[in-house]
Structure 1
Amino acid sequence: MNYEFTIIVPVYNEEANLQRVEQELSNYLKIAAKKTKILFVNDGSKDKSQQLIEEICMNNSDFNFIQFQQNCGLSAAITAGFKNTDTELVGYIDSDLQTAPEDFNLLLAQIGEYDLVTGVRANRKDTFVKNMSSTIANGIRRAFTHDGMDDTGCPLKVIKTEYAKKIPMFKGLHRFLPAMILLQNGKIKQIPVQHFPRIAGEAKYGLWNRLIGPLIDCFAYLWMKKKYINYKIAKIN
């Protein structure tokens, strides 16, 4: 099918959202700036998510899935998606659809000269506590990484796959994707995207894993930055 872009959709207990995910992504495929396919990564859901995912994939040839044996976390789901991508570009969106699939076209329009383009959630429709903890966490990450990004937790990104596959991902480090591209001497950019309140299902992040956990992860990033191996091959015989 000559696909150019793969959208990874991590899923963990999102049965209440998956019908809308199918509809919204199917609508996006009709207007996508690149020939696009969808890859669900079921992170060990305990509800009926897998059943719904298989039905969606059976009815839509542009949809595929990976199912984990057990819950491994968002970083693992994104990593599995990267490793199972065979298109030039890869991106991801959360299955709660608090961001809009059509905004992928805004990111794709910029990816030519950049290696990662990430959204910045404009006019966030979250609670005060969630917004404040995210603002603090992003400020701490910027101080550690110097990546200049205002909203690394935005679940709408496009990455050149050759860069995505080289990211040494660890649990929690999905929040550091722009910084990990910089480690590869890549170029990054952020642009505003739409944001919506969660309509169904339950949020998977609380104060601990939105604020305290990422602070600890910053030290893991600093260790990785010091040890990171980066090279480009000049010639092969």
Structure 2
Amino acid sequence: MNYQFTIIVPVYNEEDNLLRVEEELLAYAKIATKKTKILLVNDGSKDNSQELIEAICSRNPEFTFINFKENRGLSAAIKAGFDFTDTPLVGYIDSDLQTTPTDFNILLQHIGEYDLVTGVRSNRKDSFVKNMSSTIANGIRRTFTHDGMDDTGCPLKVIKTDYAKRIPMFKGLHRFLPAMILLQHGKIIQVPVQHFPRIAGEAKFGLWNRLLGPLVDCFAYIWMKKKYINYEIDSRS
């Protein structure tokens, strides 16, 4: 089908959202500026998510899935999506659809010049506690990484696939995607996108893992930055 863009959708206990995921991503595929397919990554859901995923994929050729044997976390789901992507561009969106897939077209406008384009959630429709903890976590991360990004937790990103596949795996990866592209001497940019309240399902991150998690992961990032192997070929025979 000559697809150019793969959208990864991590799923964990999102049975109440999946039919809306199908509807909205199918609608986006019809207006996408790049020919698009969707990869649902079921992160060991314990509800009926997998049954719904299989039904969605059976009736829509644009959809495929990966099903984990057990829950491994958001970073593992995203990394698996990168590993199985075979298009030049890859992106991801959360299955709660608090961001809209139509905004991928805004991000795709910039991907020619840049290697990662990330959304920044405008007028966030979350609670005060959630917004404040996110602001603090982003401040902690920027202090360590100097990536200049205001909202790396925004679940709307587009990356050139060859860069995405070179990102090393560790838990908390999803918070450091821009920094990981910078380690490869890639170019990154942030672009405002829309944000909406969660309609169904439950949030998977609380105050504890929004604040402590990023702080611990920053030390892992500093270690990785010192050990990261990066080279450019000048010539070969």
**TM-score, scaled relative to structure 2:** 0.99
Matched, 1:102 2:86: no
Q: Distance in 2 between matches of 1:93 and 1:233?
A: 34
- How far 1:229 sits from its partner (Å)? 0.3
Q: Which position in structure 2 is the counterpart of 1:177? A: 177
Structure 2 CA distance for aligned equivalents of residues 198 and 110 of structure 1: 28
Rate the CA distance shift 1:41–1:236 in 2: closer, same or farther, 3 A: farther
Partner of 2:209: 209
C-alpha distance in structure 1 between counterparts of 2:87 and 2:160, whole Å: 9
Equivalent position of 1:8 in the other structure: 8
1:233 CA displacement: 2.9
> Which has the larger displacement, 11-20 or 208-217?
208-217
1:155 aligns with 2:144: no
Q: CA deviation at 1:169?
A: 1.9
Give the CA deviation at 1:45. Answer: 0.3
Structure 1 distance, partners of 2:77, 2:92, is 10
State the match for 1:59 in structure 2. Answer: 59
Query: How many angstroms does 1:182 deviate by?
Result: 0.2
Quote the Cα distance in structure 2 between the aligned partners of 1:180 and 1:211. Answer: 20
For the residues of structure 2 that align with 1:174 and 1:150, how far apart are their CA atoms?
14
Note the C-alpha offset of 1:101. Answer: 0.2
Q: How many Å separate the matches in 2 of 1:232 and 1:61? A: 39
CA RMSD between the two structures: 0.7
Structure 1 position 124 matched with structure 2 position 124: yes
Q: Deviations over 1:201-230 (max 9, x none)?
A: 000000111111111100000000010001
Q: How does 1:211-226 map to 2 (within 5 A)?
A: 211-226=211-226
Gaps of 5+ in 1: none
2:27 corresponds in structure 1 to: 27
Note if 1:40 corresponds to 2:65: no
Residue by residue over 1:125-155, the C-alpha shift from the partner in whole angstroms, topping out at 9 and shown as x without a partner, is 0000000000000011001000000000000
Question: In 2, distance between residues paired with 1:53 and 1:211?
Answer: 32
Query: How far apart in 2 are the matches of 1:185 and 1:91?
Result: 19
Equivalent residue runs for 1:185-204 within 5 Å: 185-204=185-204
SS class of match (2:176): helix
Give the whole-Å Cα distance in 1 for the aligned partners of 2:84 and 2:236.
26
Percent identical among aligned pairs is 80
- What amino acid does structure 2 have at the position aligned with 1:151? D
Q: Look up the SS of the partner of 1:66 in the other structure.
A: strand
Q: CA deviation at 1:173?
A: 1.9
The alignment's TM-score, normalised by the length of structure 1, stands at: 0.99
State yes or no: 1:144 paired with 2:125.
no
Q: How many residues align?
A: 237
Amino acid at match of 1:205: F
User: Is 1:69 matched with 2:69?
Assistant: yes
My pick for the range that moved more, 227-236 or 12-21, is 227-236
Aligned partners of 1:33 and 1:209: how far apart in 2? 36
